[in-house]
Amino acid sequence: MKNKRYSETKFIKQQSANLACERLEFMDGEFLGNVSIRIEDNATCRKIRRIMEKRVCQSFWNNSKASKRKGNGARYETRHQVSNHFKNIFGVVPQGFRHVA
Q: Please indicate, yes or no, if residue 101 is contained in any of the structural domains.
A: no
Q: Please indicate, yes or no, if residue 95 is contained in any of the structural domains.
A: no
Q: Please indicate, yes or no, if residue 97 is contained in any of the structural domains.
A: no
Q: Please indicate, yes or no, if residue 9 is contained in any of the structural domains.
A: yes
Q: What pLDDT score does 10 carry?
A: 79
Q: Please indicate, yes or no, if residue 35 is contained in any of the structural domains.
A: yes
Q: What pLDDT score does 1 carry?
A: 46
Query: How would you write the pLDDT of the chain (101 residues) with one tens digit per residue?
Result: 455 555 567 778 888 888 888 888 888 888 988 888 777 777 888 888 888 889 888 888 887 777 777 777 788 888 888 888 888 888 877 766 555 44
Q: Please indicate, yes or no, if residue 96 is contained in any of the structural domains.
A: no
**Structural domain of 64:** 4-90
Tally the domains of the chain: 1
Total Cβ atoms within 10 A of residue 54: 11
Q: Please indicate, yes or no, if residue 15 is contained in any of the structural domains.
A: yes
The DSSP bridge partners found for residue 24 are 30
Least Cα distance to 42 among 91, 89, 95 occurs for 95
Q: Please indicate, yes or no, if residue 84 is contained in any of the structural domains.
A: yes
